[in-house]
């Protein structure tokens, strides 16, 4: 008998319904002062910031990739047509919570404390939302907060628990932090419902700043009922680096656990519970991860799930695929589900844009669309993120600001997610705190090349040993070259370098122990080495040229810049 996925058991009556009572005239969050006598004017724009979790540039058709041509995003493209498409936007640390901490503080990970996925955010640091609130903005946050602290500087929040779930998720709201209630529906739609309700019920005498943070398209890529199987017959092209053998790179490219081949889970990720092996710990772990979503289904949602996945799975099992044919099947169905999840994101971006237009808000609202980092869509044979290689380091960024940004504009200068907070403060006429490392993007809005703009970027990834086993590394990138330094103790030895992983009671400690229980870790060596890439001649980063004849000058320059960043920013590891 095939393993059955249990149906949702939560009673319908226990599912909270969105209602006007959740959206009062935005009372000030307890304990946070608000400046008196400051009223919104036409000069200070409203701010709508939309951020997805793990949305790749490759799946936004405005960027022109092969995948997006088969799975277009018309509403996100609509935003790009009316604003600026950033071609060189990057993150400081390609991981969800650290990226969010960079957004809210304008600081690098080691400055705001959030180096790893779990604990770390320094709540004594100023959040830009506090400063906007004090300057007379009505502030709201809906969706995926995921920073392990109470939201501060927000008149209203309605946030998912931790990562959140796609189906019938739980939220907590203003004044009830930690008290989660279940709601019926699909997360992407519910988050947008709450965003629109905030806009409807805000104090309309003030400008607003609203952060809309979607769970989608985070793993495990559960499409909305109506889009299950939307791309089931589409054959997506394999990336040209899909079969990369990492021949010129150091060990980190080979010891990771984020390969479509070996590490994309058949049950959790590809929804084939029929492959369950009750005697295999990781197989069981994958099964329970899928149950975390399917156990929440209503009967109607379960019918839609079974209607697509059961026949597909039956056909797959009968084919008994092996070798490359199996890997390509995994790739195709990963992309199909991911693209279907994005379709719901695009729909809901359209809902927000329509609301602004229908309520006369478009002309004085700056709209930002981005992701908390990039994502691998099979490039180098990978899914997930974390590395400083382009697909995860690079992130989509589109900004629309009528009258200030020319329609259809593009920007090729280097920007980073630490720049968002200073940008929003500048738009509000608020002076940036001296400690903020980022800088306002406003000078770039004119579309001209800004002469005194930054010439390179610093990156640092700390989250090892944990999911996907990507080694610690930092580096510097300019318009042409990228230097990466991989370092640190391998395997369990690295835990001693991580404060929270060795502290019982923390999320980091729990995650480490859970992964250890399923034998997730490898006995990796200690490492200390560099990689160098010429992005002009090798945009796919297949040829590591560190130490090669003729690279001495550029290597020396980049090593100096890396040392300068570490010294100036006081990087402590």
Residue range 68-90: mean pLDDT, rounded: 98
Q: Per-residue pLDDT tens for 187-232? A: 999 999 999 999 999 999 999 999 999 999 999 999 999 999 999 9
Residue 87 burial (CB count, 10 A): 16
Confidence of residue 401 (pLDDT cuts 50, 70, 90): very high
Tokens coding 268: 């959790």
- Per DSSP, the chain holds a count of helices (H) and strands (E) of 14, 16
DSSP strand pairing (208-213 vs 138-143): parallel
CA distances 25 to 16, 40, 116, Å, are 21, 15, 36
Q: What whole-number distance in Å separates Cα of residue 113 and Cα of residue 149? A: 12
Q: How far is CA 475 from CA 25, 389, 414, 558, in A?
A: 46, 10, 15, 9
**pLDDT tens, position by position, 482-504:** 999 999 999 999 999 999 999 99
pLDDT above 70 (res 12): no
Q: What is the CATH number of domain 45-231+338-442?
A: 3.40.720.10
Q: Are 105 and 112 in contact (CB under 8 A)?
A: yes
Q: What mean pLDDT comes out for the span 77-92?
A: 98
7 pLDDT above the threshold of 60: no
Q: What is the pLDDT of residue 8?
A: 34
| Range scoring the smallest mean pLDDT among 34-43, 253-262, 304-313, 553-562 | 34-43
Q: Mean pLDDT, to the nearest integer, of 325-342? A: 98
Quote the CA–CA distance of 470 and 526 in Å, as a whole number.
Answer: 13
- For residue 188, which of 169, 209, 211 has the smallest C-alpha distance? 169
First to last CA, the chain: 53
- What are phi and psi for residue 250, nearest 5 degrees? -75, -175
pLDDT at 40: 38
- Give the chain's mean pLDDT: 93
List the one residue out of 159, 180, 171, 34 whose CA is nearest residue 100: 159
> Quick one: three-class SS letters along 484-514?
EEEEECCHHHHHHHCCCCCCCCCHHHHHHHH
pLDDT category at 19 given cuts 50, 70, 90 is: very low
Residue 528, classed as helix, strand or coil, is strand
Tell the burial category of 17 from Cβ atoms under 10 Å away from its Cβ (0-12, 13-18, 19+).
exposed
* pLDDT beyond 50 at 18: no
What is the per-residue pLDDT for 34?
Answer: 32
Alpha carbon 196 to its chain centroid, in Å, reads 22
What residues pair up with 369 in beta bridges, in sequence order?
Answer: 50, 398
The answer to whether residue 160 scores a pLDDT higher than 50 is yes
Radius of gyration of the chain (CA): 23
Model confidence at 132: pLDDT above 50? yes
- Please give the structure tokens belonging to residue 108: 């690098």
Residue 537 Cα distances to 351, 459, 540, 542, 554, angstroms: 41, 22, 9, 10, 15
| Closest-CA residue to 258 (of 139, 376, 372) | 376
- The pLDDT tens digits of the residues spanning 458-471 come to 999 999 999 999 99
pLDDT digits (tens, 9 = 90+) for 519-549: 999 999 999 999 999 999 999 999 999 999 9
pTM, entire model: 0.93
Instruction: Return the H-helix or E-strand segment holding 158.
Output: strand 156-160
pLDDT score at 43: 79
The pLDDT value given to residue 244: 98
DSSP 3-state of 282: helix
Lookup: tokens for 516: 């250890």
């Amino acid at each position: 008998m095939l393993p059955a996925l249990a149906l949702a058991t939560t009673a319908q009556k226990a599912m909270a319904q969105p209602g006007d009572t959740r959206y009062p005239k935005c009372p000030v969050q307890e304990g946070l002062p608000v400046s008196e006598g400051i009223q919104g004017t036409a000069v200070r724009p409203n701010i709508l910031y939309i951020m997805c979790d793990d949305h790749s540039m490759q799946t936004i058709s405005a960027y022109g990739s092969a995948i997006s041509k088969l799975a277009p995003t018309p509403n996100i493209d609509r935003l790009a047509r009316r604003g600026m498409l950033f071609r060189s936007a990057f993150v400081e640390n390609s991981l969800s919570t650290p990226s969010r901490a960079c957004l809210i503080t304008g600081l690098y990970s080691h400055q705001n404390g959030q180096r790893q996925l779990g604990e770390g955010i320094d709540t004594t640091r100023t959040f830009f939302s506090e400063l906007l609130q004090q300057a007379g903005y009505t502030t709201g946050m809906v969706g995926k907060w995921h920073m392990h602290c109470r939201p501060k500087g927000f008149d209203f929040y309605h946030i998912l628990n931790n990562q959140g779930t796609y189906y019938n998720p739980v939220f907590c709201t203003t004044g009830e932090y930690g008290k989660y209630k279940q709601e019926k529906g699909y997360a992407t739609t519910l988050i947008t419902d709450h965003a629109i309700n905030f806009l409807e019920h805000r104090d309309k005498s003030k400008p607003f700043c609203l952060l809309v943070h979607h769970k989608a398209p985070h793993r495990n890529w559960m499409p909305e009922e109506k889009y299950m199987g939307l791309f089931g017959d589409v054959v997506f092209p394999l990336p040209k680096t899909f079969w990369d053998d990492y021949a010129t790179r150091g060990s980190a490219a080979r010891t990771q656990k984020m390969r479509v081949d070996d590490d994309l889970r058949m049950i959790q990720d590809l929804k084939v519970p029929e492959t369950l092996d009750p005697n295999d710990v990781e197989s069981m772990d994958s099964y329970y991860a899928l149950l975390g979503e399917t156990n929440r289904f209503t009967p109607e949602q379960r019918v839609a799930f079974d209607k697509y996945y059961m026949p597909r799975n039956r056909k797959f099992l009968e084919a008994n695929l092996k070798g490359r044919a199996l890997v390509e099947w995994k790739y195709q169905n990963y992309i199909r589900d991911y693209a279907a999840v994005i379709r719901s994101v695009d729909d809901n971006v359209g809902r927000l844009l329509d609301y602004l237009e229908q309520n006369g808000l478009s002309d004085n609202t700056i709209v930002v669309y981005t992701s908390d980092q990039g994502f691998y869509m099979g490039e180098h044979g990978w899914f997930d993120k974390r590395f400083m290689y382009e697909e995860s380091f690079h992130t989509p960024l589109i900004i629309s600001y009528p009258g200030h940004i020319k329609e259809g504009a593009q920007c090729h200068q280097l920007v980073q997610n630490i720049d968002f907070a200073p940008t929003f403060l500048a738009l509000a006429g608020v002076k940036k705190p001296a400690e903020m490392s980022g800088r306002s993007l406003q000078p770039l809005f004119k579309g001209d090349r800004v002469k005194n703009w930054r010439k390179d970027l610093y990156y640092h990834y700390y989250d090892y040993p944990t999911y996907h086993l990507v080694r610690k590394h930092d580096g510097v990138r300019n318009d042409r070259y990228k230097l990466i330094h991989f370092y640190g103790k391998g395997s369990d030895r690295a835990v001693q370098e991580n404060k929270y992983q060795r502290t019982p009671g923390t999320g980091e400690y729990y995650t480490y122990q859970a992964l250890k229980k399923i034998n997730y870790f490898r006995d990796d060596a200690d490492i200390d080495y560099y990689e160098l890439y010429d992005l002009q001649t090798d945009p796919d980063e297949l040829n590591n040229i560190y130490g090669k004849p003729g690279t001495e000058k550029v290597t020396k320059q980049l090593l100096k810049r890396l040392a300068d960043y570490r010294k100036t920013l006081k990087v402590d590891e």
